[in-house]
Amino acid sequence: MLPRAASYDTLVSNFAWRIPARYNIGVDACDKWADGSGRLALIVESNDGSVQRYTFDELKTLSDRLALALQKGGVARGERVGIFLAQSLETGLAHLATYKCGGVAVPLFALFGPDALQYRLANSGAVALVTDRAGLAKIEALRDSLPDLRTVFVVDAEPDALSDEARAQGVTSFWHALNAASEEAFEPVDTAAEDPAVIIYTSGTTGKPKGALHAHRVLLGHLPGVEMPQAFFPDDATLMWTPADWAWIGGLFDVLLPAWHHGVAVLARRFEKFDGEAAFDLMQRHQVTHTFLPPTALKMMRTVEHPERWPLALRAVASGGESLGAELIDWGRRALGVTINEFYGQTECNVVLASCATLFEPNVGSIGKAVPGHRIAIVDDAGVPQSAGTPGNIAVRSPDPVMFLGYWNNEAATRDKFRGEWLMTGDMGVEDADGFVRFVGRDDDVITSAGYRIGPAPIEDCLLRHPAVRMAAVIGAPDAQRTEIVTAFVVLNTDYAASDALKRELQDHVKTRLAAHEYPRVVHFVEQLPMTATGKIIRRELRDRVSAAIPPQSQR
C-alpha cells in the first residue's frame, strides 16, 4: 500500500487509503494467490527439526474444507471461533476458514491456563474451538461454565481416540471433519470491510482483559505500518518470521496475515522457551529476510556471544512493544546487519508510529514518526492537541482503518477510550518539532518525584548499558517526601553477583549518564521480571510487591 519514496514527506503526501466496501481477510490473504502456480505460503518447522512446506493452493483447498466443517459444526455468520494453538499449519487454516465462513476469530495464547481461557471463551461467547489434546485437557474441566461452546476441533486426535463422553460434548477430530467436507464446494461469505472479523484480548496489565473487536479492514489498515518499518515490504522479501505467538496482534497482523496479503511465505516456529542462539540459527538456516523481534527477544539475543557465527540474510528487522534505546539499536547494527526499526501501536489501534532507516536516521529515544494514513497527536486529558515539546497522551484521530470497532460487550470502556475524535492510547509521549514521538511511559507508569515527571524507559535503557545488567524494569515507589522514588528491579548477567557495591555502581551509572534526579534510589536484584505473555513488563506487579512490603526473591 505504501508507494516507494525518496523521503518521508514525499511518502506521506503520496499516500491514500484504498479500502473497498466489500472485503474478506481470508480471501485476500489466501485465495487470490491460489492460482495453480504452487506459490510457497508456509514453512513449518517442528520441535524435532522436521520441516514441511505448504503452497497457497493447498491453503485454499484446506481452509475451504475447514470453513465447511465449521459451518456444519454450527458456526453461523458473526459467531465466534476460539483458536487455541501455537504457530502451526492448523492455526493459519483456522484463521482463514473462520474469516471465509463469516465467523469472528478469537485467538488464544497456547500457554494460557484455565482461568485465562475460561474468561475469554465465556466473555466472547465462542461457539467453536480449534485446539490440540493439551488444550482439550484444559477445556474439559471448564465445559460447564461455557454454555455457548458447542464444538471443539482437536488437531492431533483421530476419531477413534475420542471417548463417547467427549463426542457427546461436541469434540471432534479436526482433520477427520476437514476431510469429510472434501467433496463439497465452498463459496466464501460476502463480507463488508466493516464487518467484525476478530476479537483480540488485551494483555491485561491493568484490570481484566478487554476484547478489542476488529473489522475485516484491520488487515488493510495494518499494511502501511508493516511496510514502513519493514523497509518497504515486500521489497526483497522471500520469508518472514517472528517468535511472537500468532494469538497476539503483533504475530498475527504484523507478520502472518500481511505477509500472506503480499504473497510472501511465513516461517512457523514457536519456541517452547525462547533461546537467543536458536533464533540466530533458525534465521540463518531458513534465510529469513524479514522479522519482527519483540524487545524481550532482542534483549535475550543480545546476550549471545559472537553472533557473526550465523551469516544472516536479513533485509529488515522491526520491533515494538517497548522503547529499545541506543544500546539495542547499536547492537542490532553489529549483530543483525541492519538498523532495527521501532514501531508503536496497541491492540486497539496498532502500528501507527514507526521508524524507517531507508527514509531517515532513527531518532534514538523516539518510537518514530506517524505512519502515512494515521493522524497522531499529543493531547491533554481533555483531548486537546498540544504543541511540540509538551508531554501528554499519545492519541490517534478517528476514523482510522486500523482502529477497533470497540470493546466486545463493553460500551462503557469503549466510550472511555475516546476524548471526542481522539482515541487515547493510555501511553504518555512527547513530539518534537520534526515529528518524532518519544515514548515516556504508560499513563500509570510515569513516576512523579519531587515535582519531576519521570518516564521509566530512559532509565531502563541506561541501566542496560551497564555490562552487569541483563534486564531492568523501573517503577515509582511511594515516598512521604518525594511522592514517589525511582525504584529499579534488575536481572544480572551470569558473571555478576548482587552486592551493595554493585547497587551503588548502578545508581552512579544512571546519575552520571542520565540525570541526577532520575537515578534509582532503590535497586532490587531479582532472578526474573514479571511479564505478560507478549513479553511486556508487568509493572503493576512490581508496584504491588513494593506496596505490600514483600521483598522480591533475591538473586543468589
> Cell 487454516 belongs to which residue?
93
Nearest to 324 by CA among 364, 274, 371: 364
Beta-carbon neighbour count of residue 385 at 10 Å?
A: 15
Domain ranges of the chain: 24-42+52-191, 447-547
Q: How far apart are the first and last CA of the chain?
A: 52
Give the span between the Cα atoms of 73 and 110, in whole angstroms. Answer: 23
Please say if the pLDDT value at position 550 is more than 60. Answer: no
DSSP string for 36-99: SS--EEEEEE-TTS-EEEEEHHHHHHHHHHHHHHHHHTT--TT-EEEEE--SSHHHHHHHHHHH
The whole-angstrom distance between residue 459's C-alpha and the CA centroid of its chain comes to 24
Quick one: pLDDT at residue 551? Answer: 52
DSSP string for 234-276: TTT-SEEE-SS-TTSHHHIIIIIHHHHHTT-EEEE---SS--H
- Distances in whole angstroms, Cα of residue 255 to Cα of each of 62, 261, 389: 21, 10, 33
- Distances in whole angstroms, Cα of residue 83 to Cα of each of 58, 109, 323: 20, 8, 30
Quick one: pLDDT at residue 111? Answer: 83
Quick one: pLDDT at residue 373? Answer: 97
8 A C-beta contact, residue 257 and residue 225: no
Please classify residue 297 by burial: count the beta carbons closer than 10 Å to its beta carbon, then call 0-12 exposed, 13-18 middle and 19+ buried: buried
Which residues, in sequence order, are CB contacts of 326 under 8 Å at separation 6+? 364, 365, 461, 465
Choice among 147-156, 376-385, 511-520 with the minimum mean pLDDT: 511-520
Give the span between the Cα atoms of 415 and 161, in whole angstroms. Answer: 48
- By DSSP bridging, strand 128-131 and strand 80-84 are parallel
- By DSSP bridging, strand 128-131 and strand 151-154 are parallel
The pairs formed by 277-280 with CB atoms below 8 angstroms and a separation of 24 or more are 277/304, 279/243, 280/304, 280/307, 280/309, 280/310, 280/312
Give the span between the Cα atoms of 445 and 457, in whole angstroms. Answer: 10
Over the stretch 168-195, which tens digit does the pLDDT of each residue have? 999 999 999 999 988 889 999 999 999 9
Give the span between the Cα atoms of 474 and 460, in whole angstroms. Answer: 6
Give the span between the Cα atoms of 23 and 17, in whole angstroms. Answer: 14
Quick one: pLDDT at residue 451? Answer: 62
Give the span between the Cα atoms of 279 and 166, in whole angstroms. Answer: 38
Over the stretch 121-146, which tens digit does the pLDDT of each residue have? 999 999 999 999 999 999 998 999 99
Nearest to 225 by CA among 196, 261, 270: 261
Beta-carbon neighbour count of residue 77 at 10 Å?
A: 13
Give the span between the Cα atoms of 99 and 148, in whole angstroms. Answer: 20
Please say if the pLDDT value at position 556 is more than 50. Answer: no
Nearest to 133 by CA among 81, 90, 178, 69: 90
Quote the mean pLDDT of the chain: 92
Quick one: pLDDT at residue 243? Answer: 93
CATH classification (class only), 24-42+52-191: alpha beta
Mean pLDDT in residue range 374-389: 97
Which residues, in sequence order, are CB contacts of 516 under 8 Å at separation 6+? none
Which residues, in sequence order, are CB contacts of 28 under 8 Å at separation 6+? 219, 261
3 state SS of 475: strand
Give the span between the Cα atoms of 225 and 396, in whole angstroms. Answer: 14
Mean pLDDT in residue range 196-210: 78
Choice among 106-110, 220-224, 375-379 with the minimum mean pLDDT: 106-110
What topology is assigned to 447-547 in CATH?
GMP Synthetase; Chain A, domain 3 (3.30.300)
Quick one: pLDDT at residue 67? Answer: 98
Give the span between the Cα atoms of 484 and 503, in whole angstroms. Answer: 19
Over the stretch 453-506, which tens digit does the pLDDT of each residue have? 687 877 898 899 999 999 999 999 998 777 789 999 999 999 999 999 999 999
8 A C-beta contact, residue 222 and residue 350: yes
